[in-house]
Structure 1
Amino acid sequence: MTTTTTAAVDMSVDLAGMRLPSPMMTASGCAANGKELARFFDLRELGAFVTKSVMADARSGRGTPRMAETPSGMLNSIGLQGPGISAFVEQDLAWLHENGARVLVSIAGGTSAEFADVAARLAASEALAAVVGVEVNISCPNVANRGLVFACDPAASADVVSQVRPQLPPEVPIFAKLTPDVTDIVTVAQAAVEAGADGLTMINTLLGMVIDTDLLRPQVAGVTGGLSGPAVRPVAVRAVWQTRAAMRDGRLPDVPIIGVGGVRTGRDALELVAAGASAVQVGTAAFNDPSAPVRVGRELRDLLHEKGFSRLSDVVGIAHERMA
């Protein structure tokens, strides 16, 4: 008779006071707002469920087609479709709270004031107890500045974070989600942290484009879209590495990083952790394997056990200490 043993590794994490039993999360926009994935596993198995970015008002998003396959990835041009913050807190957040999920709410806005409004309305929700943090998606366009992505500009990033922070209870940490489409991601990270971000999520998708070679026109209606999947993982590892290195050098305050980008396996997650991420989000992989966010967590735990580690926290940023 064969017995299966569970690797004895402490996988708990502390993200700016947010105590989670697991480092594993979904990635915003890849699992709607919970009900879809709940058919495949108990959401309480995750460290946190990350919602689709919610804005002040309901949005229908961009026209179709909205998605295109790419080598080792996919392009999406959804346009932040969603129900708006009022419907979100009354229906989606309430449902997540009733089902015991820990929730990292992703918020977005076309202006800094809209971000602040969404945060304030979230703070007033009766289901706020389910919220373990807020992810501020500054990787979306600033309509007040001719469409410039907030996270491409340190001052714009800081403005959003500084307006969101006072709207939420101090015990609710906020994480600024950064884009890799910048020359120096550390400068943007510094601006966000100094403005009040308790942590960082990196990275969002890369801006890409696909041409339909039969019709000889852009394959998605929005022309460009966000590239995700395994192809972007080395970029995510690089971004996490550079930012963690800046923290170790004293150039940036030491805050937790949530790593995201192209994670399909425990080894992929381990790369991000070794580079400096304290938690890991799984997104695109869930489209063909809905159990991926929890499966990757088990694989990561088993890998750490095989390598002789008893705590996940001992591996965060370890690659910086093992430079040849």
Structure 2
Amino acid sequence: MTHRGNRATNPRRRTLRGAGALAGAALLLAGLHGPSGAAPAATVTGPDVPHTTEAPTTVDLVSTATGFTAPATARPGPTTFRASTTQSGKGWIGLARLKDGKDWDDFLDALSRALSDTPADVPQGAKDLDDTAVLLGGLVIHPGQPGTFTQDLRPGQYLLFDYLTAGDAEPRHRRLTVTGASAGRSPEPTATVVARHVPGVGPRFEVFGSLRAGRPLRYVNRIPGQVNELLFVKVAEGTTEAGLKAWFDALPDDGTFPPDSPFRSLSLGSLHLSTGRSSVVQVPLEPDRYAAITYSKDATDGIKLVKKGLFALVDVH
């Protein structure tokens, strides 16, 4: 019992330190890529792939300066989470399913270390996170730029949480109970972006289909033993893969960014997925050239995956 008591105290202090670093890095990323002015939101349109004869189950996630609202229950099956925020630095809501015997403190501690800016903390943090929860995505959004993500839910308990409040005195998180009869159908994506490890090459993003403004895309994480996100950010005219690589190579490990950024917009996209998971995502991308990037760390050595080639220049039509 004494060992359990120590575990409940000391990891909590470590959690707060790690969560503070996680939130600081997230906030820096939120403000890095361009001006804070909001772009108009895209409308969810287009045909659906049938799952049942019913429309998709849709739930709202609304973040403000003081908190976020989320449902306490949902039905099994494809569920579309429609997220918005009115406060900069708040509202990156993620979805996770905790494993048996794990709680919020276990999850926050493991997540903070898995995403830490201290490379030595990442490998064990990634292992602990894999033992603690399954990450099911979420959204990187901003005021005036809402989005949706769709997950196929099974009956059970889930966790909705705000990455950007991880270091706060009271991090924002809510329980979601999934129960009842299965219903709903998933939106039809026009493109699929796959993160995978290419033997002899390294981690890479591969794009299938056509990325289109105002239409959903599917993001799939196939990198073994690795949680990973997918972010889109507009690039300056003339940006090349070689130029991006040089900028990423200059990224320090402390969560700061070098000058002369090639980016000219805020990041939008999907929060972290565990290996083998996918999410249908829609964020307000516009017809333009973007970089598809991630700031996730390699679970084996804590090095940023972009430094190993996990980025791509893509066109949104």
**TM more than 0.5:** no
Q: TM-score by structure 1 length?
A: 0.25
Q: TM-score by structure 2 length?
A: 0.25
- Structure 1 or 2: more helix by fraction: 1
- Structure 1 or 2: more strand by fraction: 2
RCO (CA 8 Å, sep 6+): is it higher in 1 or 2?
A: 2
